[in-house]
Amino acid sequence: MIRLRGSSLPGEIEALSGQRVFDCNQCAKCTAGCPMSFAMDIQPNQMIRLVQLGQADRLLRSKAIWLCSSCETCAARCPMSVSVAEVVDALRQLSRERGMADRSTGAPQFHQAFLDSVARHGRAHELEAIGVYKAKTRRFFDDIGLGIRMFRQGKLSLLPHRIQDRDVIRRIIRQSSGSSKT
Amino acid sequence: MPAYSYFPGCSLSGTSKEYGASTVEVCRALGIELTELEDWNCCGATSGHSASREVADALGARNVLLATDMGLDLVAPCAACYNRTKRAANVLAEGDAARKQRIAELLGRPVREPVRVLHLLEVFSHEEVAERLGGRAMQPLPVSKVAAYYGCLLVRPPKETGFDDPENPQTMDRLLRLCGLETCDWYFKNECCGASHSIPQSSVVLTLVDRIIRNARAAGAEWIVTACPLCQVNLDTRQQVALGEEPLPVLYITQVLGLALGLSPKSLGVPEQLMIPRVPAGAAGGGR
Ligand code: SF4
Ligand code: SF4
């Protein structure tokens, strides 16, 4: 396959994801089975094409990379063994590192709040992660009823479960999760 | 007696504590010995691999190595924990040297050949356990037909999880039939419910959940049965119920197995109202 010159994006994505993006032949089977395609601004097969073409800006600012649900249907069905899911992960990483993540989806803020909580305690503390997420997105009143019901059932604990070895977890998350620009 | 190290994961000690409780109860009843990993950490779930492959590798590998130090194969009941943990074990077993080296650096410990990572359903399908289950007299259940819902992370990507047939898995169906239940043939057993977006994108998720619930109802399901805490919470709480319709209950496989084994609904976290047999739609003269 001919490699297109003039862009480092395909190389970067291949290095981060381990996927051979130039193997994609645009059959669009990934898009056909994608449960989130109806809500995406760029379809899964188009994402791979844009990576091949080095269109970093369009991809890294897209909503689609944050709307992917990581269901892996594309990866399971691609006849060329390309995983869009893993390419999307690499795009998310670059998008956050470059401060280009689309915040209107709420997903970058949610992931950040979740990981910050894990970095602090070694385990996820749902109440804290959701609280921080709501503060960042100002979506204070979403799911209030649901939250209260779960709290009453004893499913949302007030205090985090802390692990002993949490320094290691903090190091993992802080050293290699890009930035907290979200 | 089969013995495993046990990774409950964050959900089973919080938002899905009934899955945790019913897992422990059923394993006890079947003579499966579980020893909880000491000081386990969160697998990072979708947020972990969305940050970077390194984060996902290292968070997963730490738990795998804890189990490896114990010398016991690791079992996870949460499909997300299972997926991330098994993928980390695959990296430790056959990943390239640089990737393993980075894990060792981040964890500050040497890596080693890992033990196996199993989902709880694979443990129940273990020959010895399946025999024990098959030999038990099962208690009658209040419903007769259920839909086994597998979702995404058990079966995909197949080259990482290697769990059953990714397009038409049967592992859970077989267990449910052992409980005397009929299982539905339906189209959405491995379709995504969007759980990873349940909070930030709840409106999109309503669409995905609705398709799954409607297809299960059309196939005649009286309950949906899952083996994933994220799916259960999402299908249960994001379900839209039309006027005059009853919500479709979503139970864990361990709750159903436990009931069939004669354990008390309370110890399994099964709401009492689900134990009242419903009048089958056919009995009233109408079809479905
Ligand atoms: S299914 Fe594979 S080959 Fe086909 S368009 Fe998608 S990524 Fe490309
Ligand atoms: S992993 Fe993402 S891109 Fe692939 S099918 Fe699922 S939602 Fe679509």
pLDDT at B19: 97
Residue-wise pLDDT for A32-77, tens only, equals 999 999 999 999 999 999 999 999 999 999 999 999 999 999 999 9
Residue-wise pLDDT for B59-112, tens only, equals 999 999 999 999 999 999 999 999 999 999 999 999 999 999 999 999 999 999
Residue-wise pLDDT for A87-133, tens only, equals 999 999 999 999 999 999 999 999 999 999 999 999 988 777 777 77
Ligand 2, closest atom to CA B152?
Answer: 6
Q: For the domain that residue B49 is a member of, what is the CATH number?
A: 1.20.1050.140
Q: Does the beta carbon of A94 lie inside 6 Å of ligand 1?
A: no
- Is A178 within 8 Å of B10 when comparing Cβ atoms? no
My answer on whether B116 and B23 are in the same domain is yes
Q: Residue B185: pLDDT band by 50, 70, 90 thresholds?
A: very high
Q: Please tell me the distance from the alpha carbon of residue A71 to that of residue A177, in angstroms, as a whole number.
A: 21
Q: What is the residue range of B179's domain?
A: 138-272
My answer on whether B144 and B264 are in the same domain is yes
pLDDT at A182: 45
Q: Where are the domains of chain A?
A: 9-101, 106-177
Ligand nearest to the CA of A45: 1
pLDDT at A150: 74
Residue-wise pLDDT for A135-172, tens only, equals 777 676 677 677 777 767 777 777 788 999 999 999 99
* Ligand 2 pocket by Cβ (under 6 Å): A 30, 33-36, 44, 68-74, 84-85, 88
Q: Please tell me the distance from the alpha carbon of residue B191 to that of residue A34, in angstroms, as a whole number.
A: 9
Q: What percent of chain B has pLDDT over 70?
A: 96
Give the closest-approach CA distance of A49 to chain B in angstroms: 21
Q: Residue B284: pLDDT band by 50, 70, 90 thresholds?
A: very low
Helix (H, G, I), strand (E, B) or coil at B252: strand
Asked whether the beta carbons of A143 and A134 are under 8 A apart, the reply is: no
Asked whether the beta carbons of B111 and B154 are under 8 A apart, the reply is: no
pLDDT at A64: 98
Q: Which residue(s) pair with B250 in the sheet?
A: B224
Q: Which residues of A touch B197 (CB under 8 A)?
A: 67, 69, 107
Classify residue B70 by burial, with Cβ atoms within 10 Å: 0-12, 13-18, 19+: middle
Asked whether the beta carbons of A34 and A73 are under 8 A apart, the reply is: yes
Least confident among A8-17, A62-71, A147-156, B184-193: A147-156
Domain count of the fold of chain B: 2
CA of B126 to the centre of ligand 1 (A): 36
Question: Do the domain assignments include residue B222?
Answer: yes
Question: Do the domain assignments include residue B127?
Answer: no
pLDDT at A158: 74
* A178 vs A158 pLDDT, higher one: A158
My answer on whether B102 and B216 are in the same domain is no
Q: For the domain that residue B191 is a member of, what is the CATH number?
A: 3.40.50.11810
My answer on whether B165 and B73 are in the same domain is no
My answer on whether B56 and B165 are in the same domain is no
Structural domain ending residue among the three candidates B68, B93, B121: B121
pLDDT at B287: 39
pLDDT at A153: 76
Question: Does the pLDDT value for residue A16 go beyond 70?
Answer: yes
My answer on whether B199 and B241 are in the same domain is yes
pLDDT at B198: 74
Question: Do the domain assignments include residue B104?
Answer: yes
Q: Residue B129: pLDDT band by 50, 70, 90 thresholds?
A: confident
Structure tokens at B189: 């057993």
pLDDT at A177: 61
